[in-house]
Structure 1
Amino acid sequence: MRYTAILAALALVLAVVPAAVTGVAAAPGVQQENCSFPFSGTDATGTEVTVEDRPERIVALQASTAQILWEVNAQERVVGMPVRSYTAYLNGSESRTDVLTGDGTSVNVEQVVALEPDVVVAPSSIPNATVSQLRDAGVTVYKFSFDRSIEGIYEKTTLLGRLVGNCEEANATVEEMRSSVERIERAVEGRERPDALYYFYNFTAGNGTFIHEVITTAGGDNVAANAGISGFGQISDEVVAERNPDWILHPSDAPLPQREPFASTTAYAQNQTLSVNANYMNQPAPRVVIPMLEIAQALHPEAFEGGANGTTANETATDEPTTNATDNATAADPGDPPGETPTSSGDGPGFGVVATLVALLATMLLVRRS
């Protein structure tokens, strides 16, 4: 099918974006807010956190927050982060200090303190007791709240950019995300929504998750949400058999089950399954728009065939989406699918460049109305 070639081209684009192309200029029309220091804000623990000066030594305690720091061009100041297979796609991450314990299940407090960070950014999964330990050792910690939506990812990106003094880059990243999402929404608007199930090791993403919004924004009807599942939870074989999804989506690190009732679903019978990059899909951060586009193209290939009624590539130069980011955030945690999963072929940093190319691909294919 035509979209297969486009996905292959997208994969090639992601694989060759050079590390040197990391600078992101402010998007046209973005009004730059005051990005001076000191900065004060109330975090998820209800604590008023003050960052006195632009932080030069940053520690990220989770993968999605690290991704955002790369996307807003603050990666050179990151001294500590999870150094794991699921962060290997971030260029240079292997040279940072790993801040997790050997089994990867908790924060190595002593190691974080030894790094002498100016600020530590913590996801909601980090226990408040761990945050208190770090604060008692004199470390400034800002803890984010649970991420439930695409809007929440916009807000988190904006806030984190403000926290580290990279407001322009954060605003530009959010603008690019919004532009890509809006193009996808226009492409699938008014089209019949096939039932889609996101499946990984008997778990799924239901209502109140950013992955639910990825599926619905891409033009799918989330089977898990319709079955009354909230958050990230297990899905039974009975629900799969009853709902009989048209499509089954899965992260690249989680194989599709070959047993019943999956083998008898419409998705399997019609070869309608899709593997998406596990890190981009499971980490609530800017690159989530990439699997969103892939899902939209898979579910609605006719919407991306182009043609006389489609939008031309000139739209890229004339679109000036507005931003509406506010002061709320979160990081990848148990609110995300269990386990922020392994390596990808992407060559970050530089979402600004990648998003522009993704948007260009989408625009060049947009939208033939039936």
Structure 2
Amino acid sequence: MITNRRLRVVCLLAAVAIGIGLAAVAPVSATASGESVSTANDTFPVTLTDATGTAVTVESRPENVTTTNPSAAQTMWTLGAADQVVGVTQYASYLDGAEKRDNVSAAGLGVSIERVVATEPDLVLAPNATSVETVRTLRAANLTVYHFPAATDFEAVATKTQTIGRLTDNTAAAAETNAWMWRNVAATESELNDVDRPRVLYPLLGGYAVGDNTFINQIITTAGGANVAASEFDGYKQINYEVVLKLDPEILIVTDQTQGQILASTPYSQTSAGRNNRTASLSVQYLNQPAPRSVVYATGNLSAQLHPDAAANVTTTPGADGDDGPATDVSAPGFGVVVAVLSLVAVVASARFYHGR
């Protein structure tokens, strides 16, 4: 059955293919839902209501933007607006040139108020993992802060991208980026429409797992998997020994943060995935950060591991900055597990940070 959203995406795919071809991306008038928007950048001031219910006004094009979580930084880079960014957290260090921006991370979790203030930002982009208390403190320091809601699906990622584009005077790039994202999602869905879906589980450290109503759940389903935890809970919750065994995943998703710490541990070692040594390995920054590049790369890379024959027909076009995405690391029966030498404390902290984005 074709859903309304899929029908809209397929229509968008056809329109873009006819107008400009799939090999390149040109600015288009489209949002995530297919509604028309102007590709010309908008005038200022701009006033939008954020997740705290606050009407946030940006008086003029912000030349100095500070991001308090890596998903916002990744989005700015994908929009080709990295030159506007003056502050990022340590978790955005994978972005090209991020080391030239001020690091606003605190010594522990979260961001340093003093460091954010020191960047003298015209606008602070604060994804939902940034606490409301931090947002209030930054506003008390006379900073303009936009706080985003949790991104629970691809539609929310597209809306977030559009909002960042509007606030930072990159509306055309946001429309272009969303069209690129949806085109790749549609291409993957069309190739995997009739595949048998393996039972997949994405375990996090501390006994947590990824459930329904998360953008990661949509990555799994779009890539041709069935997220076994989706029937148990929404969001990110701890999952006990008995439930893991009952769900019996065939494939476990691991990342560079969890590789070597999941497959051989109890109870995962006693599942079908553990007994058959089956994992899908993804880069954590492209799986756990709700941003367009993450959606395209994580979905494409996961589908290539779950369904290599079908996914071979899907061509993932580059993002706005020409980045083709990370390499995949496919694991199958008999494939050895690479042990990641990481500090458990640091990994747990990172995992907690990425859960909320």
The Cα shift of 1:263 comes to: 2.4
Q: Does 1:61 align with 2:68?
A: yes
Distance 2:264 2:185 in 1: 33
Distance 1:107 1:260 in 2: 34
Distance 1:173 1:231 in 2: 26
Distance 1:51 1:26 in 2: 27
Q: Please say if residues 25 and 169 of structure 1, whose CA atoms lie closer than 8 Å, have aligned partners that are also in contact.
A: no
Q: Could you give the per-residue CA deviations for residues 6-62 of structure 1, whole angstroms, max 9, x where no partner exists?
A: xxxxxxxxxxxxxxxxxx964355541551111111111111111111000111011
Q: Does 1:80 align with 2:48?
A: no
The Cα shift of 1:271 comes to: 3.4
Percent identical = 37
Change (3 A) 1:128 1:261: closer
Q: Could you give the per-residue CA deviations for residues 162-213 of structure 1, whole angstroms, max 9, x where no partner exists?
A: 1100111111111111111101100110222111001121221101111011
> 1:84-103 counterparts in 2 under 5 A?
84=90, 86-103=91-108
> 1:199-348 counterparts in 2 under 5 A?
199-201=203-205, 202-226=207-231, 228-255=232-259, 256-288=262-294, 289-306=296-313
Q: Could you give the per-residue CA deviations for residues 221-279 of structure 1, whole angstroms, max 9, x where no partner exists?
A: 111112x1211111222112111111111222112231343223222333321110001
Secondary structure at 1:120 match in 2: strand
Change (3 A) 1:25 1:192: closer
Distance 1:97 1:260 in 2: 41
Q: Please say if residues 88 and 101 of structure 2, whose CA atoms lie closer than 8 Å, have aligned partners that are also in contact.
A: yes
Change (3 A) 1:305 1:26: closer
Report the TM-score, using the length of structure 2 for normalisation.
0.76
Q: Which amino acid aligns with 1:187?
A: E
Instruction: Provide structure 1 residue ranges, at least 5 long, that are not aligned to the other structure.
Output: 1-23, 317-349, 359-370
The Cα shift of 1:113 comes to: 1.9
Instruction: Provide structure 2 residue ranges, at least 5 long, that are not aligned to the other structure.
Output: 1-23, 31-37, 326-357
Paired position in structure 1 for 2:332:
none
RMSD between aligned residues:
2.2
The answer to which of 52-61 and 125-134 deviates more is 125-134
Moved over 4 A (4+): 28-31
The Cα shift of 1:123 comes to: 1.8
Distance 1:305 1:53 in 2: 45
Q: Which amino acid aligns with 1:273?
A: T
Change (3 A) 1:33 1:46: farther
The Cα shift of 1:109 comes to: 1.7
Paired position in structure 1 for 2:165:
161
Q: Which has the higher contact order (CA 8 A, sep 6+)?
A: 1
Change (3 A) 1:79 1:279: same
The Cα shift of 1:220 comes to: 0.8
